[in-house]
Structure formats: C-alpha cells, structure tokens
Structure 1
C-alpha cells in the first residue's frame, strides 16, 4: 500500500490483510474528537515515512464489529499488528509514542530502543514535533501533568485574572456556546440566553493549564464557572437556582449588565405546522424524545443493551454506571432510526452514547469517563439524589462481595495493565474459575482504601466469598500446588 492511509471497509477485509503477516497499523477515531484529528495528521505523515506498512483509519462508532474486536472504548486508539497478531496498542493522543511504536512494528528500530521523533523520517519528524508542541500548549506537557505544582505562578494568576475580566459576564465551559461538550455547560448557556445577556466564554478543554489553574484560583473544583464583573457566581446548580429565583436578573441589573439582547425564539418556541423553531423537529417527535429522556432519573441512549453493548463507547458508560452502583434505564438507538437521528438534533450532540440525569444531558463516553475520574460524576449523582452517601468501607464491602471470586487488578481481564494482574487472570482462566473484576486504575479512592481495608499493600488482590486469598505470588503458589481451584470452591 505504502505512503497512504485507507479507510477500513469491512472486518473481513481487515482480517485477510492481517493474516498475511504484513505490518498493519489501525487508527480508531471519531469525527467529534479533536484529539483524533490532531493524531490523524501525524498518522498520515507516518504512512509516508513507513511505506512498507499498511495504515488504516477506522471510524470507531461506524465500525462497531471492528471496535469490539479490539476492545476500543475511547479515541484516539491505535492497534499495531505484525505476523498475523496484535503486537501493541496505544490509547490517547501521544504523537511521540505513536511514532516510536510504528517504528518498532514497521521500521528498523529494535524493541527497547528510544526513538526520537525527529529521527523517524523527513516527513514525520517535523510534523510530530510540531504536533507535540501544539498539543502541549492545549493540554499541558506530560511532565506538567505528573508534577502538579502546589501553587499557581504569578504569570498564570495574571492570565486567569485577565481572562475573567475580559468580559463583564464570562463563562468558563466545556466546549463553546454553540457546541457545549457537557450538559451542565449547555444548561448555563441556555439560561444566559434566556436572561438575554451578552457573555464571553472560554473552552477549558482547549487549555489544560487554564482548566486546572482556575480550579485553584477560584477554589471551585468543577465546570462550568460563571463570573460577573470579575466575581465568581458559581456553577450550574447555583446559576439554575439564581435564575429560577430571579436573583440572577437582579445581579446583572445591579452590576449594570445589559439584558436587552434580541429575542431569537418566538414566545412559545413553536411555530405553525407543529414544528419546533428551536430544533426543526415535529412536536410529536419532540414530545416522544422528552418522554424517553424523562422516563428514568438516569437514562442512557446507547448502541445495543447494557448486557450486550454494540460499541465500545456504550460499553464504557455502562461499566461506569455499574461501578458507581447507579440504577438506570436504557434505549437502544439502533432499534429506532427516528429516535437515533432525532435525538442528535434535539440534544445538539452528534454521537452516541448520550447520558441524561434528571432530564439533563451529561454527555458522551469521553465526558462521563472524565467526570468519573475527577469525582464529578459521584458529586452530581449525590446532588441529584440518584445515589446516597456511603462510606468507602461500605463501598469496599459491596465490591468485595459483588462476586464469589473477586479480583481487584490493574486493567481488565481482557486487557491487563500489569504483568502480575495478567498472571492471575491466566491462572484463574486456566483453572476454569469464573470471577468478577474491578480495575483499580479507574478509581483512586478504591485503590488506596483497599490497601488499608485488606492490610495488603499491592495489587492484584484476589478474594473468595469476601475473604482475601492474596496477591500474585500466593495465587501462583496455590496453582502450582494444584490447590487453586479447590480453594476457590470450598
């Protein structure tokens, strides 16, 4: 193929090519993901530098069978195949790592050797370096992410204050007012439009330095954040409460904020002929969508069903909801084309899954995953009364007892993230033992608390009927002595 990137047309076509043993590199992407677009540029240039390898682009949501086969649950995601099997994978936007891994599969670099991006070829080198610089500006460098500074530099404080003061009403949100990237940001935008207030905005997803710095600067851990004349009003819940109580209008009035923007929507929002002017959908379909969204306090529109997801993104959100012990209902958008297409327009959200809490759009898999990692999802679920506060000890007891044989590990059984976890999974499967698992990398609270709870400082940890069996060494010793299966079936 050489020097070009092709779009995968079918799984059969891909399987046939991989079986030839030739180097194959796959880029799983999504049109809504900015990081995918960044990485696709690097991917294209690498295809020029390594003409003997086969570079394929896979739209993850449009090729669920292929995404399922490679356990894709987030984008960008890369798979490296060689000699008829998967050689390596890479999740996330890391141009330098992508270049290194491509070189090891398709080039002359030996495994273990460090590969400088600039050494990988005339086309790829400069492009990768430029993309690394660009993404470092947007997201912060890896070193900055790991080495969190205890305070804010004077330069950053000055920049944040300038941003806050750049408009009389300033909103820091995920996405833009035209395309909010979370339901809370969308709600605040809608309220400001209803209040007929002119406002400026900043997309905190575009600048990690601002995103993390503003949390400390304002002493407010979540987004959106709304400011008026340099003063923090609050986040989504506070803005909603102020709007509903009439206080928001008074605040704007007291600060001399103009609230005489032109009305863009008719009084009722509905025009003649039963068509919503705000969305262009029929009133019948609009009513149906609203009924579905509000049919459960937590409603997930997904591809497939919770027990049989039809795409990795839907599976990821289901797993997160299960991990958080959230009761929810779901709707399979593959079973109803009218709902599938109509909901995209209604929500102004172009992809699936879509998660709603108390009728409010939270977002898709990337937003939900990010909220879980940052603790925001638990906070929202508590505030909305979906789940009740429980001690970490109560939670650990439930997790430990959630399966007769329960493994706390790094990664998942199909994709372990450490050699010790992989060994225990292999041992259990070799003995034909059914087991549940929990990825301790997905929840820092569980990861640290379980060490104290079990008085066992490392992972993996294997439990049987709520009792700790031990870690990798003990499991391997039991297996070698022929005692593993009997121990887990007493």
Structure 2
C-alpha cells in the first residue's frame, strides 16, 4: 500500500484494517473545507515518505458512524493507530504536528521506519506548507473580527428552525442535493407530498457548526417540524416505513401563514425575499439588489420565493407590496428594487440598514 491514500467505505472496513496492527494514520476531511483539502496534500506527501505505514481518508459527514466513534466534531481531524489501538489525535491544519505524529507511530513500529524529526513537516513541500500557513493566518484574522455571541447565534438558529413548519437543513438544495443522505430525505418528503423549506448548510459554516450543538445532532441532514428536531436520514426513513412520518408532519398545518411569514421576515436582521438565491439570482431586479447589498458589505439572509408559492402570494398581501424582490430590515419592509437602488445611488443604503 506504500505511498497510497485510500478511502474508507465503512466502520467495519476500518476495524478489519486495524487488526493488522500496522501503523495507521486516518484523515477525517470534508470536500467543502479548504483546510481539509490543503492538509490532504500534506497527508499524501507523508504517505510517500512512510511507505510502510497505512494512510486512509474518511469523508466525515458521509460516514457519521465512523466520525461519532472517534468524536470528530470538526475537520481536518486525524487519528493515529498503533497495534490496532488509537494512540493519538490531531485537530486542525498543522502540517508539522501531523508529520511528527505520523513519524512517532511509524518510527515505533516493527517496520523500523525512522522517527520523524520536528522539521519533517518540510517533507510536505514548501508550496503546500506556505498555502496552509496562509490559510492559518486568514483564520486568525477572521477570529480577530467581532464574532456573534453564542446567544445571538442561538437566536438565529431558533428563527431558522422555525422559518417553515417543516424545515430541512441539508447539503445543497432540494433541486441539487450534494450528498446521498440529503437526496434520500428530499425524496421521502416529496413522496409524502410535504411542503418544506430548506437551508444549504454548505453555504454558511456558522450555521453548519452551530446547529450541531444547538440540536445535539452531529450530522446532516437534519429535519425539523414546528421547530422540533425529528432527526437525520436514518430516522426519517424509519418513520416513513412505519407510517409515523406522515402522522407527525400532518401537524405542520398548525402554524398559520401569517405566523410563518413573520418568522421568515424576522429570521435575519436584513432579509431579502427574491427570485433565486444570492449566488444564482433568477431575475435582473433580484440580481441588482444582491449586488447593492454586497457592495455595502451588508450581511443578509434570503428566501427564494420561487420555491414556495404559498409564501410568494402570501407576502404580497402581508407587506402590501405586489412585486419582488422585497427587502426587510428588523422585520420592517424597506422596499423593492427601485427603492433599494435609490438608497444605494444616494449613499444611504448602508446607513439605512445599520440604524
């Protein structure tokens, strides 16, 4: 296996590999995480430097049973095995520490590979190491900015989980799921003819990580009904088979349309009801407003009114505003495209949304 990094497909496969007693380095990673991708390059170089050791990868959220077994809550994350036992771990993008920990398990094995000196991180290659270091600097810079308090984040998560009677936090969108488990749950909800909202957790890492603690549920997708967590893909599939899912979701009608609209409007301090998403607007007016907000560096939430006809028609009457997009600030309507562009051209948009 020398020099190769192989993907693990199941916990049973990993358990069988551990029984060999050979030194093993295991990388828990995620395709959406830049630090994971960079450390994966370091990992691959180390696999070449230590051909008698075994190097494996696990996509953390695709294999929750493995991630939960080793208490993985963030990526990149590494677990090191010796004689079939987990002897060390490493969290975060630290190439030098990774190289040293690999060297320890390899150097202390019967393969008689040399232990890694502290400088072994250079084996990963200067270009890769510089990239990782720059990423670490960016992370430090980001942390220096004022961050939302846990209380504020929890308020936001509570609003999001209540933004639709049935709310799915998933990878991707219902039209383009980005993992098999999300695709399964979307399929189940559509089979049951359930009207549901969704949030792409790949688009917002703060929500992604915060929701794991908020719900005490480490993986995605997560399905909520009237603000209460039902569970992930396994539970949803079991509930469908037993017929319990349809019964539970029938309770969704208890929330009135007006209450639902109020929850949506107040789900973010600045909230845009638009056609499409900020990254893929589906009309020129929505695209203009998104650009104006981004030019002012305004953080805002959004709702695609094309995805929900009930909201689309209901909010016209609710706001007494017949067209889209519609922009709200602290629960109050600011206006549509024309008003937003006037505020932007006069230089008043930023001030209006920060009063």
TM band (smaller chain): 0.3 to 0.5
Q: Who wins on radius of gyration, i.e. which is larger?
A: 1
> TM-score, structure 1 length as denominator?
0.33
> TM-score, structure 2 length as denominator?
0.45
